[in-house]
């Protein structure tokens, strides 16, 4: 099957090349934009606050929901932080052998390798679940830590000034509570097939958890459609397109040997992605638990180098952040505008409340649903509070924040961030290029898993349906690198945030169930330490 997939990818190249020469991508873009523009306009409708400032309506339920969960769970995002770290470290792994929770059982007829492994699942035979807490964390982080942390932050602080960083951090802390709720539910209501494969996410806790089965099915179906669309666009085409633009820029721009050969870059990425995703979440987890720590460490390490190389400006930078958060000068929209830019970027970066992360976390090895919810709350902290803040500090300290001349798009924003790092580390643009490619690659393989889960929920769990989705996903990698399908990507991004609507309804209704799971797990920890 792997050979068939690779063959299809190579066969697709000539057609994509011809299409590009004929300008077919522009024609498709225009036709698609005309057909779907109404949906994009609705999802990204901006509510005007003043003559100069407005806010996407989708941010309201995300922010209000995060605030509600923070209060409802007694500030779990703060008081549970140390416990979360201990869970990832494996301190409470001994609890998994205790309790009455149902363990995952695998049908004896399932074919296995010589060492007893089932290659079609992420399950580690002999354990309850599929992947470790750390692997689930890195798989989910790989989908969120990426271009938003580099390009998105540059746009936010350029438009909203240094003060946007403060509100970005606040939103990151609030988002920790939303991640806790949705990932706890992901484990509690997951489906486990006879071969040990785990199917989880909003589709399942909406259908199994809500009392109204009709409402649950409607919300779950809507979410599945949205996550499939989001996986092809924001989780695929956008990622590879931005990565290609940076690679082309660093290798000579219009004079680069890759100029006009986006399809070639896309083909290489599609082959690499295909090799990983064919193996399922097990392969994805094995790749992400190596790539994510590596690329985050490199990026944060470089940021710290720039910050401490300009240590005399650290105090002034934090002064700009706090002063700009409440009394900005020269910023369009004033304090409200700064707040909005910070919250907007945080929400777009960490995806707390969107529901996507619960799909990856549902495959974890555990008997206690709340244990994975506790692990998941670390994601917005790492993604937003740490990585986004590092980017913002580098931009502020190096003087690359100009509200009067903000970057027009993500590609320009990446180059702005690259220039900020290059002011202290001359060779960093090359390293950033590698990081962006790795960010894009890890995001694509994780989003392929998210989209696949929505796909099999709608069309069935057969091998035919599995490989159909994965082939389509890989073809879209090539298209994303070769074409300029702005409307297609815009529509897919809108679908990502549309996921929030059915998901947030389910989270609020099922919050009491999460509280029960949290109490059960915390009691287990207390009993083990007594």
Tens-binned pLDDT, residue by residue, of the chain (530 aa): 555 555 555 555 554 454 445 555 566 667 767 777 888 888 888 887 766 667 778 888 888 898 999 999 999 989 988 988 888 887 777 777 644 444 444 344 333 444 444 444 434 344 444 566 666 676 666 656 666 677 777 777 777 778 888 888 888 888 899 999 999 999 899 887 777 777 888 999 999 998 888 999 999 999 999 999 888 877 788 888 878 887 887 887 777 777 777 788 888 888 888 877 776 556 666 666 677 677 778 888 888 888 888 888 888 888 888 887 776 654 554 555 555 666 666 666 667 888 888 887 887 778 888 888 888 888 888 888 888 888 888 888 888 777 666 676 666 777 788 888 888 888 878 888 888 888 888 888 888 888 999 999 999 888 888 889 988 998 888 888 877 667 766 777 788 888 889 999 999 999 999 999 999 988 888 887 75
DSSP annotation of 311 reads G
Start-to-end CA span in the chain (Å): 53
DSSP annotation of 46 reads E
Contacts of 376 (CB under 8 A, 6+ apart): 137, 140, 179, 180, 182, 183, 184, 357, 358, 361
Query: pTM of the full predicted structure?
Result: 0.80
d(CA 381, CA 113) in angstroms, rounded, equals: 39
pLDDT at residue number 15: 46
Give the residue from 310, 365, 379, 362 showing the smallest Cα distance to 145: 379
Long-range Cβ contact pairs of 417-426 (< 8 A, separation 24 or more): 417/150, 417/151, 417/153, 417/154, 417/391, 418/246, 420/306, 420/394, 420/395, 421/302, 421/303, 421/306, 421/394, 423/306, 423/398, 424/305, 424/306, 424/309, 424/310, 424/398, 425/302, 425/305, 425/306
357 close to 144: Cβ distance less than 8 angstroms: yes
Contacts of 507 (CB under 8 A, 6+ apart): 65, 69, 178, 181, 182, 185, 353
Distances (CA, A) of 168 to 62, 152, 183, 350, 444: 14, 11, 22, 11, 25
Biggest CA–CA distance in the chain, Å, is 72
**Residue ranges of the domains in the chain?**
2-103+119-529
Q: What are the backbone angles phi and psi of residue 485, rounded to the nearest 5°? A: -100, 70
130 three-class SS: coil
236 close to 489: Cβ distance less than 8 angstroms: no
336 close to 53: Cβ distance less than 8 angstroms: yes
120 close to 197: Cβ distance less than 8 angstroms: yes
Give the residue from 58, 36, 56, 40 showing the smallest Cα distance to 48: 56
286-317 burial by CB neighbour count: b if 16+ within 10 A, else e?
Answer: bbbbebbeebbeebbebbeebbeebeebeeeb
191 three-class SS: strand
DSSP annotation of 150 reads I
d(CA 122, CA 138) in angstroms, rounded, equals: 14
Q: Which fold has domain 2-103+119-529?
A: Amino acid/polyamine transporter I (1.20.1740)
Tokens coding 79? 């008081």
DSSP annotation of 45 reads -
pLDDT at residue number 63: 85
3-state helix, strand, coil in the chain (%, to 5): 75, 0, 25
Tokens coding 23? 């300008």
Q: How many residues does the chain have?
A: 530
d(CA 528, CA 530) in angstroms, rounded, equals: 6
Q: Exposed, middle or buried, 376 (CB in 10 Å: 0-12/13-18/19+)?
A: buried
């Amino acid at each position: 099957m792997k050979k068939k997939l690779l063959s299809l990818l190579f066969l697709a190249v000539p057609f994509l090349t011809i299409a590009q020469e004929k300008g077919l991508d522009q024609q498709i873009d225009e036709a698609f934009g005309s057909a779907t523009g109404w949906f994009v306009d609705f999802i990204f409708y901006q509510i005007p606050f003043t003559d100069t400032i407005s806010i996407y309506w989708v941010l309201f339920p995300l922010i209000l929901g995060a605030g509600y969960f923070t209060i409802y769970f007694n500030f779990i995002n703060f008081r549970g932080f140390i416990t979360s770290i201990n869970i990832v470290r494996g301190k409470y792994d001994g609890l998994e052998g205790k309790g009455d929770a149902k363990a995952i059982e695998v049908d004896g007829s399932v074919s296995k390798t010589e060492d007893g492994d089932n290659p079609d699942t992420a399950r580690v035979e002999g354990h309850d679940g599929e992947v470790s807490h750390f692997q689930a964390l890195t798989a989910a982080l790989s989908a969120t830590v990426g271009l938003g942390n580099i390009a998105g932050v540059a746009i936010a602080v350029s438009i909203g000034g240094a003060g946007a960083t403060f509100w970005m951090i606040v939103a990151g802390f609030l988002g920790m509570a939303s991640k806790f709720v949705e990932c706890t539910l992901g484990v509690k209501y997951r489906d486990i097939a006879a071969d040990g494969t785990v199917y989880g996410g909003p589709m399942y806790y909406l259908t199994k958890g809500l009392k109204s089965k009709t409402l649950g099915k409607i919300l779950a179906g809507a979410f599945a459609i949205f996550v499939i669309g989001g996986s092809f666009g924001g989780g695929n085409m956008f990622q590879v397109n931005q990565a290609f633009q940076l690679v082309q820029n660093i290798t000579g721009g219009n004079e680069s040997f890759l100029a006009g050969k986006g399809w070639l870059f896309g083909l290489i990425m599609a082959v690499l992605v295909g090799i990983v995703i064919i193996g399922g979440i097990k392969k994805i987890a094995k790749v992400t638990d190596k790539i994510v720590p590596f690329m985050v460490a490199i990026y944060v390490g470089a940021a710290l180098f720039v910050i401490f190389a300009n240590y005399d400006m650290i105090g002034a930078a934090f002064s700009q952040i706090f002063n700009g958060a409440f009394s900005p000068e020269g910023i369009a929209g004033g304090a409200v505008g700064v707040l909005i830019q910070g919250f907007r970027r945080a929400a777009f970066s960490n995806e707390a409340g969107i529901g996507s992360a619960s799909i990856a976390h549902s495959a974890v090895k555990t008997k206690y649903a709340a244990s994975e919810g506790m692990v998941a709350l670390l994601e917005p902290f790492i993604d937003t509070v740490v990585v986004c803040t590092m980017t913002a500090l580098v931009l502020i300290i190096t003087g690359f924040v100009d509200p009067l001349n903000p970057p027009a798009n993500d590609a320009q924003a990446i180059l702005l961030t690259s220039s900020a790092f290059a002011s202290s580390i001359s060779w960093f643009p090359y390293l950033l290029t590698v990081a962006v490619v790795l960010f894009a690659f890890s995001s694509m393989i994780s989003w392929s898993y998210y989209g696949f889960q929505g796909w099999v929920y709608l069309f069935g769990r057969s091998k035919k349906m599995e490989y159909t989705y994965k082939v389509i996903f890989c073809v879209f990698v090539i298209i994303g690198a070769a074409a300029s399908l702005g409307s297609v990507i815009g529509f897919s991004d809108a679908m990502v945030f549309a996921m929030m609507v059915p998901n947030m309804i389910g989270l609020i209704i099922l919050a009491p169930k999460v509280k029960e799971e949290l109490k059960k797990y915390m009691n287990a920890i207390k009993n083990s330490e007594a």
